[in-house]
Copies of this chain bind each other. A is one copy, B any other.
Amino acid sequence: MNQTMPNWLYQRSLLTPDRQAVQYEDQVLTFKQLYGQSVQRAEKLANLGVRKSNHIGVYMTNSLDMVLNIHALFHLGAVVVFLNTKLSARELQYQIEDSKLQFVIMDDHFEEVLSFLSNQKKISMSKVYDLDLLKNTMNAREVVLSNVATMMYTSGTTGRPKAVLQTYENHWWSAVGSALNLGLDHRDCWLVTVPLFHISGLSILIRSMIYGIKIIVHDKFDPVLTNAAIMNEKVTIISVVNTMLQLMIEDLKEVYPPSFRCMLVGGGPVDDFLLEQCKKREIPVYQTYGMTETCSQIATLSPESSMVKLGSAGKPLFPCQIKIMNDGKLCPANQVGEITVKGLNVTRGYYSGTTRAFHEGWFFTGDLGYLDEEGFLYVVDRRSDLIISGGENIYPVEIEQVLQSHPEVIEAGVVGEKHSIWGQVPVAFVVLESTVDTKVLQDFCYQRLAKYKIPKKIYVMDRLPRNATNKLLRHKLKDIQHD
């Protein structure tokens, strides 16, 4: 029999109707109000023909409207497909077609980017406001845990973005696993300055319902406003990536209030220097390892261990397991291999079909790392070639394919270069048919890729380092950089 639960937001509004649920700019809604408004929003969207299991795109920057749309689509039993607002029109077009979207709900100002879509396929917020209510269309009085709730795109080593299927069950276990690790207090308030279209942001919205805690939503990250919110608005937890933490520290003049209990940092280990600064300012840093496929954290390092286990991402969450594999064999402690994870928060696969990454309930992340004798995880390299730039994942092969599609480029290789603000930025190595200004190649990329993916430098080479089977050896490119 299908496992079910009461509709999460309904249940929360029944249990704690008067607690604050969400704050955005000068608007604050209680759970009862949020539920009421999201049901109204659902009745509007139902008028557009949204029904159970339909795939609906959300292409918005963080806002109360985005929050309401997400809840409304959950009420209708639709699958919410999140589109990264930084993508190029070509990238968007691919994802919209691949995920078979019925339509995309967008902020008005995104109209132009989606010019390739017909008017029935893109619904601006202005249009949504004007819709009549189609009453009694709430489908999801119960949550069926095995149903897909959301889809988010991630690129694999193949470079083709794939939609990760995230079920209600995945989200539930992620939220519960996190609470069992971080503890739970109904006075918690979680600040959302990361995008809701990323799992880092969405997972906070979902925890809010399940825990009954308030979230404060910022439309984008600003270190000054973020610090101000922590100082003055009783924020107790925030999710950030390395880059953000660094900017916050640079801006911070005082110490955070003692009620601020958790700085959850994803996207790679925090370096010693930054960690030392955090310690000096008594900031409780929890370093974490997770990905879209694990619906947020799968391992987290508590502050007590951060100085003794420098560079570690901590231990698995209670419901999760981590093992290190190499050539089908389990690696002993301290030996590097592929990080392999299991847990009910882990996706069952991609919309376009499962891959070799899933085996007997275990997901092979493609990331390299090891476990020490005490079970602490150390991530050595994300997916061997993944570049993380300001919290965004960049897959080299995606950029390489674009470069190679230029008539004058014979072959291309992309790697990450250290960057003081973004952590890493992509740089490219190309072999050319004839002389071309690298500026032309960057412009070529600009038309096809999100801005953060455009190589910041392009080096022209005679040939690229390849192994006997002609596989590009990206680590050799890194060596070239270091020369």
On A, residues with C-beta under 8 Å from B are 1, 3-6, 11-12, 14-15, 176, 179-180, 183-186, 210-212, 315-316, 318-321, 342-344, 361, 375
On chain B, the residues within 8 Å of A315 by CB distance are 14-15
Assess whether B180 is in contact with A210, with CB atoms less than 8 Å apart.
Answer: yes
Residue of A210, A319, A321, A342 contacting most chain B CB atoms (<10 Å): A319
Q: When the two chains form the complex, which single residue of B11, B176, B185, B321 contacts A176, counting CB atoms closer than 8 Å?
A: B176
Q: A473: shortest Cβ distance to chain B, in Å?
A: 37
On chain B, the residues within 8 Å of A14 by CB distance are 315, 375
On chain B, the residues within 8 Å of A375 by CB distance are 14-15
Assess whether B3 is in contact with A318, with CB atoms less than 8 Å apart.
Answer: no
A4 to B321, CA, bound (A): 10
Assess whether A344 is in contact with B183, with CB atoms less than 8 Å apart.
Answer: no
Q: List 12 A-B contacts (CB under 8 A).
A: A3-B344, A5-B319, A5-B344, A6-B321, A11-B316, A14-B315, A15-B318, A176-B176, A179-B184, A180-B184, A180-B212, A183-B185
Q: A94: shortest Cβ distance to chain B, in Å?
A: 31
On chain B, the residues within 8 Å of A12 by CB distance are 318
Assess whether A361 is in contact with B1, with CB atoms less than 8 Å apart.
Answer: yes
On chain B, the residues within 8 Å of A318 by CB distance are 11-12, 15, 210, 212
A316 to B212, CA, bound (A): 14
A319 to B172, CA, bound (A): 10
On chain B, the residues within 8 Å of A184 by CB distance are 179-180, 183-184
Residue of A14, A183, A343, A361 contacting most chain B CB atoms (<10 Å): A183
A387 to B1, CA, bound (A): 34
A320 to B14, CA, bound (A): 12
Counted per complex, copies of this chain come to 2
A315 to B14, CA, bound (A): 8
Q: A302: shortest Cβ distance to chain B, in Å?
A: 9
A179 to B210, CA, bound (A): 11
User: Which partner residue on chain B sits nearest A142 by CB separation?
Assistant: B321
A6 to B176, CA, bound (A): 15
Given contacts A15-B375, A183-B185, 10 further A-B contacts (CB under 8 A): A4-B342, A5-B343, A5-B344, A6-B320, A179-B184, A180-B210, A183-B183, A183-B184, A185-B185, A212-B318
User: Given A5-B344, A15-B315, is A183 in contact with B186 using a C-beta cutoff of 8 Å?
Assistant: yes
Q: A110: shortest Cβ distance to chain B, in Å?
A: 36
On chain B, the residues within 8 Å of A5 by CB distance are 319, 343-344
User: Given A11-B318, A315-B15, A318-B15, is A4 in contact with B361 using a C-beta cutoff of 8 Å?
Assistant: yes
On chain B, the residues within 8 Å of A11 by CB distance are 316, 318
On chain B, the residues within 8 Å of A185 by CB distance are 183, 185
Q: A321: shortest Cβ distance to chain B, in Å?
A: 5
On chain B, the residues within 8 Å of A210 by CB distance are 180, 318
The 3 closest A-B pairs by CB, nearest first: A184-B184, A183-B184, A14-B375
On chain B, the residues within 8 Å of A1 by CB distance are 361
On chain B, the residues within 8 Å of A4 by CB distance are 342, 361
Q: A407: shortest Cβ distance to chain B, in Å?
A: 49
Q: A176: shortest Cβ distance to chain B, in Å?
A: 5
Q: A309: shortest Cβ distance to chain B, in Å?
A: 13
On chain B, the residues within 8 Å of A15 by CB distance are 315-316, 318, 375
Q: A288: shortest Cβ distance to chain B, in Å?
A: 14
A317 to B210, CA, bound (A): 11
Q: A155: shortest Cβ distance to chain B, in Å?
A: 27
On chain B, the residues within 8 Å of A186 by CB distance are 183
User: Which partner residue on chain B sits nearest A317 by CB separation?
Assistant: B15
A212 to B302, CA, bound (A): 14
Assess whether B180 is in contact with A211, with CB atoms less than 8 Å apart.
Answer: yes
On chain B, the residues within 8 Å of A183 by CB distance are 183-186
On chain B, the residues within 8 Å of A212 by CB distance are 180, 318
A180 to B208, CA, bound (A): 11
A321 to B361, CA, bound (A): 30
Residue of A14, A180, A186, A361 contacting most chain B CB atoms (<10 Å): A180
User: Which partner residue on chain B sits nearest A141 by CB separation?
Assistant: B321
A11 to B3, CA, bound (A): 25
